[in-house]
A and B are shown apart, each in its own frame.
Chain A
Amino acid sequence: MWFPTLPTDRLRRGPGAPPPEMPLVTRALDGGRQVVASADQAALSLGLAPGLSLAEARARVPELRVHEADPEGDAAALRHLATWASRYAPLVAPDPPDGLLLDMTGGTHLHGGEAALLDDLLERLGRSGLTVRAAMASTIGVAHALARFGPADREVVAPGDEVSRLADLSPSALRIAPDIVRGLLVLGFETVGQLMRVPRAPLARRFGPELLARLDAALGRRFEPLEPWFAPEAIQHRLAFVEPLLTATALGIALDRLLSIVCPALEAAGMGARTVDALFERVDATVQAVRIGTARPSRDPGHLGRMLRDRLERVEPGFGIEAVRLVVRVAEPLAWSQAAAVPGEAPVLDVSALVDRLGNWLGSDRVFRAVPVESRVPERSFRRAPPLWSAPNLSWPEALPRPVRLITPPQPVEAIAALPDRPPAAFTWRRVRRRIRHADGPERVTGEWWRREAEMRAVRDYWAVEDEEGRRYWLFRRGDGEDPATGDLGWFLHGLF
């Protein structure tokens, strides 16, 4: 993630900020000279780039607003953002001066996939007034390059596409010193792709090891560790081992010991965990992370331990794990609860523990409730709601027949019916002809014109029918049988009773 205008965005959020159309820059001392340290979008569009001398900038744009640069404040803001972003990913590291690195491995299932997570992240940051660009890729190098030099403000690179996405970018995307970039440009290297095609030895001799190291890291040939950042106030504990651990049983025991320390700490703070990360530090300096989320704040070691152990199989121990750290990333107040219910009182079933276990296992969007939605179109009459949603009195109208199986999309069937409003006498589905003995209908469903233009005139006439064997089907005809604009009179099977 890259915040191109972080210093000025911070100033704009503060009191007494100038209006957004007024260019704003910060100044810093470079040797004996006052220069522009950073510029906002308005200033950048006027050609005031960082590095320009302040006198020249003032000469070009007389109404320029100048503030003192505050590198320490910017660094603190970046750490603040890192703490905030840790709700999205187990491993977060600030990448000074203006970037954040997030290792999403093991955490995307709680947010509905990678693209949805990125959209949510950028939308939230954008709402708080920060300009931000982000990219997601298998290596830090590619994500870093695309966030800064990519064509779009967000991008998810599919595994295997790293080389092709990187090839078109300029060498300056590789996190190398500016003089190396200048040297490469002199030699005519304008894209990373050209660099990848030439022999490596001359490059190393001319530019030193840094260039090839950066290139290899971006392409995943060289491992690049992430130094994770922890908020100082987060409840956490780290357990280091004399001998590296290899088996899931041993890791499970380590988790139990960590939970026996972390859970009482949560209790003392009056908090319950919503998101917990277990970070497994391997002997080869990589960190593997496992993240669990709960639907309600919890500090029950049994519950949290069971969820963590369910995901232990995703941890690859490699040559062994030398330390495990348990971090409570998101905690919420959790009141003291009474251990035993009052005698004689029926215990209230709490399904949240089951919901958590299934959600961590299948993905949180796969565990849901069906909530009634007021809609004329049957397939839109319910939506998936979070499992702990409750509105006990909401249901569908009882008088309308509704099937128990919905066929999506509706399957075309051959049917013969007298126009405009007689039920079909027979229909053919899956090459079997079914004669209809009883029918109920029609129930007319008109399109929801406020959703799509095509539904402006659309009409469906639904029939619940029973064939000779007693099976019941839910058929509809497109069109009202009189006005051709309402539909083409095709018959469809939409459900089974």
Chain B
Amino acid sequence: MLGALHEVAGTGPDMEHAAAAALFVAGCLARLPGTVLWVLERSDLFAPGLAAVGLHPARVLYAEAGKAATVLLVMEEGLREAGLAGVVGEVSGRLTLTASRRLQLAAERSGVTAFAIRRPRRHDDSTLLEPCAAVTRWQVASLPSGPPLPAAPDVPGLARARWRLELVRCRGGEAASWVVEACDAQGRLGVVPDLADRQAAPGPRRASA
């Protein structure tokens, strides 16, 4: 859904770094046209990694906020700028109901899509359970990937990564879960081949998120 706030988090030990979550968001934005404002608290984001899922460096504008509270303010400032493809904020602290509602309202008004990547220090952080005005909440978990060449399982190498995408909460919709192949060089997700042969797995329609 464009023009709305989405919350994305990792799982387990990946909660703090939210690497898969960042790739998922970058892949979503790679397929929207325009400039992306990426608001960092500290700079551990590696731009070549974003380029690998199709988010070209010329399209990303970074803002290093330094403090968790400033990240939210900078995000809101960015969301007022109609015409951006999206605003991404890396939120390590709390995202209160008030703060998230402000972001959601700003996103609705300008039509810019907002992603809050939740990066709590601990993976069982209780602040994640607080109510939030985001339209959707996603959880991106890594799953073991298959062999790089299904016909020859002994060949070493890495296949495309595999994620469990969980739509934990969705306003006006139902929670759901998909197993997908991670974003490719154009930012597209893939249907896992061994599932595709079986019963129709619900194709994750990324245009809707």
Contacts and interface: CB of A to CB of B under 8 A. Distances in A.
Interface residues of B, number: 53
B75 to A, nearest CB: 11
A358 interface: yes
Interface string B67-106: 0001000100110010110000000000000000000000
Interface string B1-42: 000000000001110010110110010000000110100000
Given A362-B70, A396-B51, A404-B26, A368 B19 contact: no
B62 A369 contact: yes
Contacts of A355: 61
Interface string A363-403: 00011111110000010011010010011101110101111
Contacts, number: 165
Contacts of B51: 395-396, 398, 402
A408 B43 CA distance: 9
B49 A367 contact: no
B159 A438 contact: yes
A358 B157 CA distance: 43
A495 interface: yes
A401 B64 contact: no
A491 B34 CA distance: 40
A362 B44 contact: no
Contacts of B84: 349, 351, 354
A497 interface: yes
A312 to B, nearest CB: 16
A402 B52 contact: yes
A470 B60 CA distance: 28
Contacts of A497: 19-20, 23, 49, 161
B156 A439 contact: yes
B57 A408 contact: no
Given A351-B81, A362-B66, A466-B145, A405 B49 contact: yes
B13 to A, nearest CB: 7
Given A404-B26, A439-B156, A470-B145, A394 B45 contact: no
Contacts of B172: none
Given A438-B156, A470-B144, A368 B62 contact: yes
Given A404-B23, A404-B26, A464-B158, A366 B66 contact: yes
Interface in A466-497: 466, 468-472, 495-497
B175 to A, nearest CB: 22
A354 B145 contact: no
A357 interface: yes
Contact of A398 (B14, B17, B185): B185
A16 interface: no
B189 interface: no
B74 A362 contact: yes
Contact of A496 (B14, B60, B77, B158): B14
Nearest to A370: B47
Interface in B139-186: 141-145, 147-148, 156-159, 161-162, 185
B57 A358 contact: no
Contacts of A392: 56, 58
A407 interface: yes
B58 A369 contact: yes
A187 interface: no
19 contacts: A353-B81, A357-B77, A362-B63, A362-B66, A366-B63, A367-B61, A371-B57, A403-B19, A404-B22, A404-B26, A404-B50, A405-B22, A430-B13, A438-B159, A440-B157, A471-B13, A472-B161, A496-B14, A496-B19
10 closest residue pairs by CB, A with B: A404-B49, A370-B47, A470-B142, A406-B46, A402-B48, A349-B83, A496-B19, A440-B158, A470-B144, A396-B48
